[in-house]
Structure 1
Amino acid sequence: MFFFNKYKYELLNHHILNLTKKINISFEFFPPKNIDMQNKFWDSINQLKKLNPNFFSITYGANNSDCNQILDIVTQVNQVTNIEVAPHLTCINHNLIELEEIAKKYWSAGIKHIVALRGDTLNISKKVIMYASDLVKFLKKIANFNISVAAYPEVHPEAINEKSDLIYLKKKIDEGANQAITQFFFSTDKFLYFRDKCIANGITVEIIPGILPIVNFNQIHRFAKMTNVHIPKWIYKIFENVEKNSITSMMIGYKIAMDMIQSLYYEGVTSFHFYTLNCSKLSYAICRLLSNTSNE
């Protein structure tokens, strides 16, 4: 387990003593696929539930055969933790009958919050006929779900340009989405610029920044290449010759994430969504500190 001793805790704590407003936190997980991953998943869930987050989100398998498994995991997490769970739901590989069945199962199980996404197609030649905005509209007709959608401070990789990306986001909001959660990023300026552009385009729901604490830099670099996320040169430099998953790597990742959160907080951001990769250590350390200082 990754712990800070009292001295290190106080050194880090002095940077955020001015966080006087309550900070809302949420955490994302992916479904475990084997026994070892299940143990890691539940260890992380049980650790992070102590922080009383607003919700846990659970990502969605691309294979339709995973539907029942995802429903079981989502309902089990909700029952065990008594914390709201927001399953991801993608529409690209489902027909309307399947989507309606899944949505009604969630609603009947007491799952009222869904992260509505288009998703990645299993068949690259398949024509996209349903988008996230269509899914939002469809879900709202079934029940009054609390719906989160995705937003992209650095533009979706498939978007034509920034303007079209904002148009698609606004359409999701206009169809009934309640808030947007962003792709992870490492430049707070990009997020703040994006938030300003959202407001200028009539998007007034809460835009929740997605925070991905860095533990294994090589892994994050791969993710960034796939998602059109820019990693500043100074981050490349600081992780040179740093062993992955080491205490040094985690301390650097902690500092980067905390500086981003502090900067965003001073710009009025009070909600943060953490991509855990099913590992609680760094997210727990960050949010334990935030929860302590924001309620003093």
Structure 2
Amino acid sequence: MTTTFDQLREARTALDTPLFAGLPGDIRVSFEFFPPRTDPLMEQLWDVVTTLAPLRPSFVSVTYGAGGSTRDRTHGTVARIIREARLPAAAHLTCVEASKAEIREVAESYWEAGVRHIVALRGDMGAPGVPFTPHPDGYASAADLVAGLKAIAPFEISVSAYPETHPDAASPEADIDNLKRKLDAGATRAISQFFFEPETFFRFRDKLAAAGITAPVLPGILPVSNVAQTRKFAAACGAHIPAWMDGLFEGLDHHPASRQLVAATVCAEFCRRLYAGGVRDFHFYTLNRAELSYAICHLLGLRPERPLMEQAA
């Protein structure tokens, strides 16, 4: 547990020395991937997995398309990561367009494949702005899904949290109440939606503490190299993109290498400020790319061991 004294000392160090000098690498990381659509893209993802595996992630997760549209690919990707990369892998699962019987079938197949961790989400209907409609025989909320999964098998369960409030929530307070219901239903931790200013997370953390929520909440980190793409993501989940971000990437559309350098600089400083505020767990939305996440972890002091697959050889 990081104390106030430790945070003050860390803040002083961040001001008095080079930002990334002497960091002990005492962070824990996790990475999110999405299931590839084709075999060549699967091999590209596998290169990403093997690049990030030596950083010893606490877990990696694989997303699940709206209405189970990537069900088989999600299952296959998670199973391969467990079997070949020997990493703890979590499978996403949503309530969208699925009955309780269908969710039971998916969950049982995950358990049989060695999956012990599920990221349980209500999910969205797939089209922007379309309100969530529960399946007539399905779960009406993520909290109900968590309780249902716990009745199927003793899964470790992660859920989502929204530092800037879920777009469907009636209020920030209602959103925090919903998070508490998910945790009370049996979830172990929450993973936050991405955000771009450290104070956003610190304020959210204070509100959770005031609400009596003590479960870990991992900040979701989205390294940005394409502002237009990020703006689409942010519009769907209610995340605010600061005006200064547009200015930093202006003029770099045709300079991908420079854009990557700027992206790494911006995200690394952002994570360093989170670190100064006591954060030691970081969840990276990789978009199936390794370089930015790897570089940021390196700057934060995390160094690789031999790939797990080599150790097992």
TM-score by length of 2: 0.85
Superposed CA offset, 1:230-252 (max 9, x none): 11111111111112671211111
Output the CA distance in 2 between the equivalents of 1:104 and 1:293: 36
Structure 2 unmatched runs, 5+: 1-16, 306-313
Shift of 1:204: 0.6
Residue among 104, 108, 132 paired with 2:142: 132
Match of 1:49 in 2: 53
Output the CA distance in 2 between the equivalents of 1:117 and 1:146: 14
Residue 195, structure 1, aligned to residue 205, structure 2: yes
Output the CA distance in 2 between the equivalents of 1:293 and 1:279: 18
Identity %: 41
Task: State the secondary structure of the residue aligned to 1:92.
Answer: coil
Match of 2:6 in 1: none
Match of 2:260 in 1: 250
Task: State the secondary structure of the residue aligned to 1:159.
Answer: coil
Task: State the secondary structure of the residue aligned to 2:193.
Answer: strand
Task: State the secondary structure of the residue aligned to 2:36.
Answer: coil
Shift of 1:293: 6.9
Shifted more, 88-97 versus 239-248: the winner is: 239-248
Query: 1:198–1:244: structure 2 CA closer, same or farther, 3 Å change rule?
Result: farther
Query: 1:235–1:175: structure 2 CA closer, same or farther, 3 Å change rule?
Result: same
Task: State the secondary structure of the residue aligned to 2:212.
Answer: coil
Structure 1 unmatched runs, 5+: 1-12
Residue among 164, 168, 180 paired with 2:174: 164
Residue 95, structure 1, aligned to residue 105, structure 2: no
Shift of 1:66: 3.5
Query: 1:229–1:39: structure 2 CA closer, same or farther, 3 Å change rule?
Result: same
Query: 1:213–1:244: structure 2 CA closer, same or farther, 3 Å change rule?
Result: farther
Q: Is the CA contact (8 Å cut-off) linking 1:20 and 1:294 kept in structure 2?
A: no
Shift of 1:14: 4.1
Output the CA distance in 2 between the equivalents of 1:67 and 1:257: 31
Residue among 237, 240, 245 paired with 2:250: 240
Paired residue total? 283
Shift of 1:181: 0.4
Residue among 170, 185, 188 paired with 1:178: 188
Residue among 286, 290, 296 paired with 1:286: 296
Query: 1:289–1:224: structure 2 CA closer, same or farther, 3 Å change rule?
Result: same
Output the CA distance in 2 between the equivalents of 1:14 and 1:122: 44
Shifted more, 222-231 versus 178-187: the winner is: 222-231
